Amino acid sequence: MRKNTSAILIIAGLFLLLVILNLIFMAGPEAEAETELNGNRSSYASTPYGTRAFYTLLEEQGHGVTRLESPFTDVEKLYGLDALFIIAPPAKENPSPEEFERLREWVEAGGLLIIIDREIQVDFGGANVETSPKEFPDGARPLQPSGYTRGVERVSLSRAASGLKVTSRGEGYPTYHVGDAQSAVLADFKSGEGRVVLLADPFVVANNGIRESDNVILAANLVGGRRDRKIGFDEYHHGYGSSKSEGLMSYFAGTPIPWMMWQGALIIALLVYTQGRRFARPIPLKRERRTTNLEFVSSMANITRLARASDVAMQNIHSEFRKRLCRYAGVPSGTADSLLASAVARRSKIGAGELEGLLARCERVARGEAVSDSELFEIVKSVRDVETRLGI
């Protein structure tokens, strides 16, 4: 009983753990903790603040989009791209100065860099870029006709949007494309053979903002009309990459799949444990009898006839018969005949009434009821027949 209790407690504990995991996933504390200011802007994220919808849009438009999961110092992968999106990486994951230097060289060699963030403080190429909080209560509108503003009439922005200020030094003279009379939210400038595009509010390309007003048109315009460009999304600085997560799990990061895998593993462990445990009394191994039915019955009849002690013989037969039946049915040895017969009947094809009647006849003879040799022979033969049918 103590072992059974321990097993039940372990199973209950595993079940409770599964419930807790489900509650954690359903409650989504990480998703609730996200805000417009600190939301995960990864293209893997399907949350309101992620950019998976934008990534999918470019795929469906026929652009060659991919995810860059290595630092910008990985020159081979960086130079395999024609355009690169850097969308609001966490502050602690910002590119290093060495990465910015490799990025500058790539842009000057002809690359298109699109930086989308509310806080952009960089001295890049021929311009110094700064952002500051700016409210656009009525949204933003095109400031001049350009490839970025084609088909755009109004751009919806979040309350946390910023305004851009680009200070030119030589060839890095900026062009402002979208904003209002006081400030711009979208600008670009030339750097060497390439260009840098700046957008000061990730809401425009986020899952919760891309469908607002003409945001989706502006988002699509950021990469131009060419379909032969290889466009990359920086995911290394969102926590993905060879130095941070590898293999299959990195692909499933940010999805419910890891939780499902853990729950599946716990369920499998639970099944293995329960199937490997015995929760009832052990069933004795089947023992093959060394004598045939005819030999047994003949011997008993001969002994009884010679000793004239049919009641003593039947007591032994009845006692052993009941023990085997109780063991077969898994009930205590003192169980009443009616309950014993019912328990055996539930586990076999022998009727309860037939078995109860046989037990009653055995008991009457064992108590001294007169019986002929032929009747005794029939009783013993019936007992042996039941034992054979039950395999006891």
Confidence check: pLDDT of 200 > 90: yes
Average pLDDT of the chain to the nearest whole number: 82
Task: Report d(CA 7, CA 77) in Å as an integer.
Answer: 54
The one-letter code for the residue type at 291 is T
pLDDT for the residue 60: 92
pLDDT for the residue 382: 87
* 275: Cα separation from own chain's centroid: 24
Question: Which of 30-44, 132-146, 252-266, 343-357 has the least mean pLDDT?
Answer: 252-266
pLDDT for the residue 241: 77
Confidence bin at 221 (pLDDT 50/70/90) = very high
Return the SS3 of 199.
strand
pLDDT for the residue 245: 47
Please, what is the end-to-end C-alpha distance for the chain in angstroms?
A: 26
Give span(s): CATH 3.40.50, the chain: 34-244
User: pLDDT: is 250 or 140 the higher one?
Assistant: 140
Angle at 137 between CA 133 and CA 139, to 5 degrees: 95
Confidence check: pLDDT of 31 > 80: no
CA neighbor of 114 nearest in space, from 215, 231, 192: 231
**Model confidence pLDDT, tens digit, residues 278-337:** 656 666 666 665 655 556 656 665 665 655 556 677 777 888 888 888 888 888 888 888
Task: Report d(CA 120, CA 125) in Å as an integer.
Answer: 14
Confidence check: pLDDT of 98 > 90: yes
User: pLDDT: is 244 or 276 the higher one?
Assistant: 276
pLDDT for the residue 53: 95
CB neighbours of 109 closer than 8 A, spacing ≥ 6? 79, 192, 193, 194
pLDDT for the residue 58: 94
When pLDDT is averaged across residues 196-214 and rounded to a whole number, the result is 94
Strands (E) located in the chain? 64-68, 83-87, 112-116, 122-124, 127-133, 141-142, 162-168, 174-179, 184-191, 194-199, 230-234
User: pLDDT: is 292 or 161 the higher one?
Assistant: 161
CB atoms within 10 A of CB 179: 23
Confidence check: pLDDT of 244 > 60: no
When pLDDT is averaged across residues 1-29 and rounded to a whole number, the result is 63
Confidence check: pLDDT of 340 > 80: yes
pLDDT for the residue 186: 95
CB atoms within 10 A of CB 47: 18
Q: What percent of the chain has pLDDT over 90?
A: 36
Q: What is the DSSP string of 297-337?
A: HHHHHHHHHHHT-HHHHHHHHHHHHHHHHHHHHT--TT--H
Which fold, 34-244?
A: Rossmann fold (3.40.50)
Task: Report d(CA 120, CA 129) in Å as an integer.
Answer: 7
CA neighbor of 370 nearest in space, from 325, 311, 324, 283: 311
pLDDT for the residue 32: 52
Q: What is the DSSP string of 137-197?
A: TT-BEESS--SSSTT-S-B---TT-EEEEEEE-TT--EEEEEE-SS-EEEEEEEETTEEEE
CB neighbours of 209 closer than 8 A, spacing ≥ 6? 156, 158, 203, 215
CB neighbours of 287 closer than 8 A, spacing ≥ 6? none
- Judge if pTM exceeds 0.85: no
Q: What percent of the chain has pLDDT over 70?
A: 79
**Model confidence pLDDT, tens digit, residues 32-82:** 578 888 899 999 999 999 999 999 999 999 899 999 999 999 999 999 999
User: How buried is 156 (Cβ within 10 angstroms: 0-12 exposed, 13-18 middle, 19+ buried)?
Assistant: buried
pLDDT for the residue 294: 56
Confidence check: pLDDT of 150 > 70: yes
Confidence bin at 258 (pLDDT 50/70/90) = confident
